[in-house]
Structure 1
Amino acid sequence: MAATEGLTRFSALDPMLPPPAPPALGDRIEVATADGARVAGGVQRHRHGPGDPPLLWSAAEVWQLFPDAGTAGTEGFDLLLGELRSRVDAEAPGSDSACVVNWPSRDAEAIRAFLDHGLAPLSALAVRTEGPPPAPAPGDAAIRVAGPADFDAVLALCTATFDYTGLVAHRRREQTAELLAPALRHALDEPLTWLAEAEGEPVALAQCAWVDSGEGAEAAELLPPGRWGYVNNLVTVAGHRGSGVGRALMARVHRELLGAGATATYLYYNPTNPLSSVFWHRQGYRPLWTSWEAHPATALR
């Protein structure tokens, strides 16, 4: 599809979408619909080794489909997914494998094809440009910036996140703590992680970062231009969920990030997670991109 067609298509789907990226590199596929329209996309293969951090959110062996931006209509996606399955069948994937398509969340015609082919919405990139007023902090919790001395507590809280999401999204890895540790040590050198404490004990954590979405940046394929506050992880320990501590923590985070010049904030959450899917919508976030996946890869119909 021509670049102008892709731009028109994306603009019609969601005004928050950035201009579409050029056609993806990789194994190019092209098919024709019943009325002769040409539909194309790229397929990329990814393999992750035992110590690779992407294993925290990804299968070890991935076939990722990148439909060209102008792709429209259920039939076109149906045909592309059929071609993707043909490529999977030629390589006999193992059990730790997946087929993945990341696509604008509001494209209902594409969703119909994704569901028909056995894909599930396992991750969503959500943005918050406006939201409810900050909640007052609970009387029994104190919020402070975390630093290097808090590494053990932060690692335990972040690991707990994956213990739970391992039930409702990607399967938990046995080496979760080892995969998390290097990035967490680096993150704690910056004042972008906050801890909520009750009676001196950490009960919730928000780990954040800065992401620039400028010309040539990887983030520019997903986000409008700007300096974005990224909420990488939020976790509340089980005994304190529903107490308001998570809302208070995010009120602090939003004040800090927006006060420091963030254009807006974004995050990833699991639509299949019964806790986060409710919490983040109430915080003013809404999905912009959704990652649809079939596990193992042979589950793609």
Structure 2
Amino acid sequence: MAHGEDADLLAAQRSRFAALDPALPAAAPLPSSSHDTRVEALTAALPDGRRVTGGLVHASHPAGSAHRLWSAAEVWELLPLVGDTGGAGMDALLRVWAERMRAIGPPTTDSACLVSWPSRDAEATRALLDHGFAPLTTLAVRRAAPQPVPRVEPLVVRRARTADMDAMLQLTLAELRYSALVGAASLRENAVPLKRDALRKRLLDGDPVWVAERDGMTLGLADCAWTPVTEGSWAGSRLRPGRWGYINCASVLPGARGNGIGRRLMDVVHAEFARAGAFGTYLYYNPPNPLSSVFWPRQGYRPLWTLWEARPATALR
């Protein structure tokens, strides 16, 4: 497809995104291939003669890598550029992609096809469902706002310390086990050292990590970080520019759930992020998760992007 056609599609897609959801950043142009990432161009024609395009990127995560905790080992991701063609353009592009995947012959296990798309685009949702995709993950956002933090006696919420490592690891593994049942996560055999190393790095880097405890027992964890979002960056293709707080993992021990611990923990997290000047906070949750799909909207989060997956990759149709 000629550069001019790409530019027209990008302009139309930006207008469509702005109309769909004012919280979306401007639609990003398709990336170019680099020395470590090959972007394959796919093009499809609509019955009325219009053409749409997309970039296909393949990622292979080696055994033992942390990526395998939240991703299939082999992933083909499509970056659609369909302008204002809506569901018709998405359907046409997915048909071409399905043909391409049949030619590639992806593995039948531990593989996935992935599309990240604005959650409010119902027309694209219909096309993705029709082609075998499931909404396994949502990127949800919440605007920062100062608010009072109610006390829940005798619960104490404080910043995590190195001495909390064992309890933190127990909580993050509890979240991983549950997410592996209801979302895109996978409980790999090396999950324990990977999670421990990630938590240790968070603490060494001084990232905002909180624990909730009662009578000396750690019952909840909020593993968080800061994300500076700038235009042109990967994060800038998902969020508006600004300093965002990121909630990587929020977990309450199974036997302690339903007692307001998670709500109190997040009240503190949101207040601290707002006090430190966050534009907003964001996180990923799994729509099929019967706990997080209820909890996070109650905390003020709403879907911005949906990560659609066909697992295994051969499920794309």
- Shorter-chain TM-score bucket reads over 0.9
SS at match of 2:104: coil
In structure 1, the partner of 2:208 is 192
Structure-2 separation of matches of 1:207 and 1:183:
10
Matched, 1:66 2:79: yes
1:279 Cα offset (Å): 0.4
| Local SS of the residue matching 1:210 | strand
1:140 is displaced (CA, Å) by 3.1
**Residue of structure 2 equivalent to 1:19:** 26
SS at match of 1:255: helix
2:239 to 214, 223, 232: 223
| Counterpart residue identity of residue 294, structure 2 | V
Give the TM-score normalised by the residue count of structure 2. Answer: 0.91
- 1:235-288 deviation line (CA, Å, top 9, x unaligned): 011111110010000000011111011111111111111100100000000011
- Which deviates more, 66-75 or 224-233? 66-75
Q: Does 1:77 align with 2:90?
A: yes
Secondary structure of 1:174's partner?
A: coil
Deviation at 1:69, TM superposition (A): 5.6
In structure 2, which of residues 101, 104, 115 is the aligned counterpart of residue 91 of structure 1? 104
Is the 1:20–1:69 Cα contact (8 Å) retained in structure 2? no
Unaligned 5+ segments in structure 1 are none
Q: Which SS does the other structure have where 1:123 is aligned?
A: strand
- Report sequence identity in percent: 51
In structure 2, which of residues 38, 41, 45 is the aligned counterpart of residue 32 of structure 1? 45
Match of 1:293 in 2: 309
Q: Quote the Cα distance in structure 1 between the aligned partners of 2:303 and 2:148.
A: 21
Q: Which runs of 5+ in 2 are unaligned?
A: 1-5, 33-38
Pick the aligned partner of 1:159 from 165, 170, 173. 173
What count of residue pairs does the alignment treat as equivalent? 301
Shift of residue 131, structure 1, vs aligned partner: 7.1
In the alignment, the residues of structure 1 paired with residue 181 and residue 221 of structure 2 have an alpha-carbon distance, to the nearest angstrom, of: 20
Give RMSD over aligned pairs: 1.6
Q: Which residue pairs with 1:175 in the alignment? A: 190
**Cross-structure match for 2:13:** 6
Q: Distance in 2 between matches of 1:97 and 1:247?
A: 35
Distance 1:72 1:176, change over 3 A: farther
Partners in 2 of 1:174 and 1:137 — Cα distance? 39
Distance in 1, matches of 2:119 and 2:148, equals: 27
Equivalent positions of 1:109-258 (< 5 A) are 109-129=123-143, 136-170=150-184, 171-189=186-204, 190-258=206-274
The normalised TM-score by structure 1 is 0.95
Contact kept, 8 Å, 2:207 with 2:225, in 1: the verdict is no
- Residues 24-82 of structure 1: CA deviation (Å, up to 9, x unaligned): 34110111111111111111101001122111111000111110162532221112111
The residue matched to 1:24 in structure 2 has which SS?
coil
How far did residue 218 of structure 1 move? 2.3
Q: Distance in 2 between matches of 1:134 and 1:59?
A: 41
